[in-house]
Structure 1
Amino acid sequence: MTSSVTRPPGQAADKSESAPSDALHTGTSDVRQLLTRNLRQSGIYVAFVAIIALFAVLTDGVSLSPGNITNVLLQYSYILILAIGMVIVIVSGHIDLSVGSVVALTGATSAVLVIQHGMPWTVGVLAAIGVGLLVGLWQGFWVAYVGIPAFIVTLAGMLLFRGLTLQVLDNISLSPFPPDYQRMANGFLNGLLGGYGYDTFTLVIGALAVVGYAVSGFRTRVARIRYQQPVESFPLFVARVVGVGAVVMAFAWQLAHARGLPIVLIVLAVLILAYGITMKQSVFGRQVYAIGGNLSAAQLSGVNVKKVTFWIFVNMGVLSGVAGVIYSSRSNGAQPAAGNMFELDAIAAAFIGGAAVTGGVGTVVGAMVGGLIMAVMSNGMQLMGVDQSIQAVVKGLVLLLAVAFDVYNKRRAGAAR
C-alpha cells in the first residue's frame, strides 16, 4: 500500500524528495532511515536466524538434521496456513478466535464422508473447504453487515463449531484415511530428476525460488528508484539477496538429503505467493491496509468497508478449511479435540511476525517467519526434553515481548512527531 508524506507548512523537503539523483544514490543516513523504519520486520529475520543457531547449539546440531527440518515443516504446516489468513484479519483491525474449531469441523466433515461413507478423497477435500467457506460467510455476515465485533462473533463461533464437531463425529474419532488423502500432508516429490545420494528436483526448485526472489527484488528496487523513493545501496541489496539465497539453498539441501520436496511445502508456497501478491499489489490488499490503518479515512475514500470485511472473513474460513484438510491428513484421522489452541498459535505467528495490535501493519511473509519462530522454538524445546508447561511459558513470554516491542515503537514514533 502506498502512502504520501505530509509536511507542516514551511518545512523543507528532505534529501530523498529533492532530486532523483538522491534516490538513485542513497547515502548512509538514508540507509539508516530505511533500517529504522523497518526495524520490526528486519529484526524478526535476525531473531529467526539467532533462534535457529541457538537451538542448533543446544541440541548438538540435531535440530538442523535433514529429517528434523522435514518434520518441523510437516508438523506446523497447518499453523502457517492459518497464519496467512489470520494476518489479513489482524491487519484489517479484527481478530478470529474460531479457527481451531473450524479446523476440527472441516476435518470431521471430510472424515465422515471419506471414512464412514467411502466417498472419494477428493469429495472429502472439497466438502471440508466448502464447510470452511460457509463458516466464513456466516461470520463475515455478523461482523460486516450486522456490526457485531469480530471478537464476540468468533468467540461464539469457537463454541458453536466445536459443538458441531462433536455432533458430526458423534463424540468419537474416525481413522484411517485412504493413502491418497494421507499423501497431501505426508507425501513427497522425489526422484523426478534422478539423484546422486540426494534429490535433484528439490535443489532445482530451491534454485528457481532464489532466482525468483532476486528478480522480484530487483524489479521492486527499479520501481522505487523510478518513483524517486529511497532504496538501500546496491551492495547492500546484493548482500541481502545472497544471504536469503544461501538460507534457501541450505534448506533445500537438507530436504534433498531427507525425503525430498514435501507436497505440503508446494501448497504453502503457492498460498504465500498468491496472498503476498494480493496484499501488496491488488486493490483488495490496499483496501485491507486502509481499513486497518484508518477506518474513517478509508470510508471517506470510498472503500466499501462492509464488503471488504465480509470477504476477509470468508477468506479466513476457506483457509481454515484448507488447514483442516492438511491437519486431518497429517494426523490420519479426525478427533473431537482437533485444532485445540490453533487460533492462539496463528495469532501469535502474526504478531511475532510484525502485525500491529491496532491494525494496518503486517505482511504474509512476516507471519510465516513468526510461525516458523514458534515452530523452531517448540521443536527445539521438545528435542531438549523441556516440560510442556515450560514450553507454554516461553511461548507466552515471546508473544508478550513481541507485542510490547510494537507498542514501544508506536510510542517512540508518536513522541518523535
Structure 2
Amino acid sequence: MGKEKVFEFLKKNTMVIVLIIVLGFFSWQTDGAILLPMNVSNLISQNAYVFILATGMLLCILTGGNIDLSVGSVVCFVGAVGALLMVNFGVPTWAAIAIMVLIGTAIGAFQGFWIAFVRIPPFIVTLAGMLAFRGLSNVVLNGLTVSIKDETTFVNLFGGGADCYIPDYFSDGKLNLTCLFGGILAVVILVGLNVYSRIKKTKSGYDVEPIWAFGFKIILIAAALLAFSYKLAQHKGIPTVLIWVLVVVIIYAYITSNTTTGRYFYAVGGNEKATKLSGIDTNKVYFLAYMNMGFLAALAGMVTIARLTSAQPTYGQNYEMDAIGSCFIGGASAYGGIGTVPGVIVGAVLMGVINLGMSLMGVDANMQKVVKGVVLLAAVIFDVVSKRGGKMIVKN
C-alpha cells in the first residue's frame, strides 16, 4: 500500500472524514443528543430544501463556477403564489402544484436565456432575480402570512404534517420495521451497483481505486445507511420529505454520471472553447442548468411551505448560501468542471450537522454564521491549494 495511494484516498474523502469528526465532536458536546432519533429525523426535515437546491446548484457550478443567487427568492415567490392559489382562490391542490412547477421552471428559463444566449454574467442576472422575486413575494402576499390548512393532501404530500411518515406495514410496536427493511434494501442496492461499476471499469481497462479503499468505502456507506435507518426506525420511520430528496438525488446522480447530457456540464466547466469546437452547443448547456435550477427551486418552495404550513415574505432567506456552501464544501470546484451529487449531499449533511449541533449547544445565531463562513472558506482554500499540488501561492 503506497503512501501516494493513501494520500489520494484521504484527499478524495476529506469531507467524509471531516463529517465523522464533526459529528463525533457534537455528540460529545451534547452528550449524544444530536444522535437522538428525533434529532436525526429533524436533520432531514429541516434541511430537505438544502439537499434539493444544492443538487441543482451543482449543475450551475459545474459550468464554470457559476452560481444562482436568486433561488431563495424564487423559493419564496413560488411558495407565495401556491399558497394564495390554494387558500384564497380555492385552486385544487394538484393544479396548484402544476402551476408552481411551471412558474419555477419559467423563471429558470427566463434567467437562463439572458445568461446563455445574451451572455450576461450569471452573477448579475441572478442578483437581479434575487431582488426582483423577493420584492414580488412581498407584493403577492401583501406583507402578510398565508396559512395552509389543506393538511390531508399538500402538506402531508410534501412532508409538513406531524404524521408525514411512510406507514409501517410490519410494525412490532417498538421499531419501524418498514424503515429498517428500506435501509437494508438500500445497502444491498448500493453495494451491488458499486461492485458492478467496478467490474465494468476493470473490464474496460479504466483505472480503479485500490481494493482496500473500495472495501473501506463500501463498509462505511453500509454502516452509515444502517445506522441512519435504525435511528429513523426508533422515531416514526421514513419522513415523506426524504422520499422527495432521494428521488432528486438518485435522478441527478444518474444524469451527471451516466448520461451524455450530464457529461456536457463537466465539459463546459473544464474547457468551454474546446467543448464548443467539439460540436456541443454550450449555450444550451447553460440554459438547461439554470432552467433546471428554477424547477428544483419550485420543488424546494413546495417543501418549505409544507413544512412550515404557511407562506411568508421572509421565507427562503439565505437558502442560496446554504446551497452554494454545500456544493463547495462537498467538493465542487470554484472553477467548475469538478463535483458530484454524492459529494454535495455530504456537504449538505455537514452543514446540517453544524447547524443542529450548534443549536443544541445554545450557540448564538450570529456565531453560527461565523462558523459556517469559516467552514466554507476552508473548503474553497483546500480546493484551490490541492489543485496547485499543495502549494500556497501568494501574489504580490
Band of TM-score, shorter chain:
over 0.9
Matched residues in 1 for 2:125 and 2:359: separation?
35
The 5 Å alignment of 1:137-176 reads 137-176=109-148
In the alignment, the residues of structure 2 paired with residue 195 and residue 182 of structure 1 have an alpha-carbon distance, to the nearest angstrom, of 28
Q: 1:197-216 residue pairs with structure 2 within 5 A?
A: 197-216=174-193
Could you tell me which amino acid in structure 1 is paired with residue 49 of structure 2? Answer: Y
CA distance in 2, matches of 1:351, 1:34: 24
Any gaps of 5 or more consecutive residues in structure 1?
A: 1-27
Contact 1:99/1:342, CA 8 A, preserved across alignment: yes
Measured in 1, the distance between the counterparts of 2:101 and 2:9 equals: 36
1:15 corresponds in structure 2 to none
What's the secondary structure of 1:146's corresponding residue? coil
- 2:32 is equivalent to residue 67 of structure 1: no
User: Any conservation in 1 of the 2:9–2:213 contact (CA below 8 Å)?
Assistant: no
Query: Residues 8-64 of structure 1, C-alpha deviation per residue, up to 9 Å, x if partnerless?
Result: xxxxxxxxxxxxxxxxxxxx33xx555544654411111111111111110000000
Work out the CA distance in 1 between the residues paired with 2:267 and 2:391: 19
Post-superposition offset of 1:171: 1.6
When Rg is computed on C-alpha atoms for both structures, the one with the higher figure is 1
Which of the numbers 247, 254, 262 marks the counterpart of 1:285?
A: 262
Matched, 1:52 2:23: yes
- Quick check: 1:354–1:367 contact (8 Å CA) kept in 2? yes
Candidates 109, 116, 120, aligned match of 2:81: 109
RMSD over aligned CA atoms reads 1.5
Within 5 Å, give how 1:370-385 maps onto structure 2: 370-385=347-362
Q: Deviations over 1:324-369 (max 9, x none)?
A: 0000101101001110111011000000000111100111111111
Whole-angstrom distance in 2 between the partners of 1:266 and 1:124: 21
User: Is 1:334–2:308 an aligned residue pair?
Assistant: no
1:232 partner letter = E
- What residue identity is the alignment partner of 1:56? S
Name the stretch that deviates more: 291-300 or 163-172.
163-172
Q: Structure 2: which amino acid aligns with 1:330? A: R
Q: Distance in 1 between matches of 2:193 and 2:364?
A: 43
**Equivalent of 1:80, from 45, 51, 54?**
51
Q: How many correspondences in the alignment?
A: 386
Q: 2:108 aligns to what?
A: 136
2:169 and 2:98 mapped to 1: Cα distance? 28
Give the distance between the partners of 2:373 and 2:9, measured in 1 at CA. 24
In the TM superposition, what are the counterparts of 1:30-41 in structure 2 within 5 Å?
33=4, 36-37=7-8, 39-41=10-12
Task: State the distance in 2 between where 1:275 and 1:128 align.
Answer: 21
The residue number in structure 1 matching 2:340 is 363
Which piece of structure 1 moves more, 406-415 or 167-176? 406-415
Q: Could you tell me which of 222, 235, 253 is aligned with 1:276? A: 253
Identify unmatched segments of 5+ residues in structure 2: none
Equivalence map 1:400-415=2 (5 Å): 400-412=377-389
Shift of 1:124: 2.2
Aligned-residue sequence identity (percent) comes to 38
Distance 1:64 1:413 in 2: 35
Q: Matched residues in 2 for 1:40 and 1:172: separation?
A: 49
The 8 Å contact of residues 41 and 366 in structure 1, kept in 2 or not, is answered as no
Structure 1 length normalisation: TM-score? Answer: 0.90
Q: Which amino acid in 2 is paired with 1:282? A: T
Question: Structure 2: which amino acid aligns with 1:392?
Answer: K
Distance 2:389 2:318 in 1: 33
- TM-score under structure 2 length normalisation: 0.94
